[in-house]
């Protein structure tokens, strides 16, 4: 859900995104820090040379050309952070939903009496709040 794009990006945001993706692509190609930094400085110079362009037609065309160049020169195995989308540890730890606790055996629940007492009270409060806000469920709807 966190990876959904929200809103419309401005031209400046698109340029910044292209710059960042370009640097990540360079990072994948050059594993030596000093070589990567040299290439990053050269790339920054290319972006800075076009920073003062005020004609939006030219700026949009440069952005399209940059996106195409990045696509054509992208690394075959891009570098990804482990917990980022597409990384090796992305969504590796699954958080069980709350309703799983309802299916615990009574002997398991007996090990945590205060927690389950409070949990049952909160479930009753939630049902009361729901019925106050939305009304009670019809008896004919219970069977469907």
pLDDT at 2 (0 to 100): 60
Q: What is the pLDDT along the chain (144 residues), one digit of tens a residue?
A: 566 777 889 999 999 999 999 999 999 999 899 999 999 999 999 999 999 999 999 999 999 999 999 999 999 998 889 998 888 898 888 889 999 999 999 999 999 999 999 999 999 999 999 999 998 877 766 655
Q: Residue 139 is encoded by which pair of tokens?
A: 């008896």
Name the residue with tokens 């960042």.
20
Q: Is 115 helix (H, G, I), strand (E, B) or coil?
A: helix
Rounded CA-CA distance 25/78 in Å is: 7
Q: Residue 98 is encoded by which pair of tokens?
A: 């709350």
Rounded CA-CA distance 97/55 in Å is: 53
Q: Residue 59 is encoded by which pair of tokens?
A: 């700026």
DSSP 105: -
pLDDT at 49 (0 to 100): 94
pLDDT at 18 (0 to 100): 97
């Amino acid at each position: 859900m966190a990876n959904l794009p929200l809103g419309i990006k401005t031209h400046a945001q698109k340029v910044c995104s292209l710059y960042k993706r370009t640097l990540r692509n360079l990072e994948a190609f050059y594993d030596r820090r000093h070589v990567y930094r040299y290439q990053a400085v050269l790339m920054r110079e290319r972006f800075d040379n076009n920073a003062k362009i005020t004609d939006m037609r030219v700026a949009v065309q440069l952005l399209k050309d940059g996106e195409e160049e990045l696509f054509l020169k992208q690394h075959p195995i891009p570098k990804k952070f482990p917990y980022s989308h597409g990384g090796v540890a992305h969504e590796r730890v699954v958080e069980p939903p709350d309703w799983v606790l309802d299916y615990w055996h009574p002997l398991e629940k007996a090990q945590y009496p205060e927690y389950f007492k409070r949990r049952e009270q909160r479930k009753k409060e939630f049902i009361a709040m729901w019925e106050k806000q939305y009304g009670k469920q019809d008896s004919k709807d219970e069977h469907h």
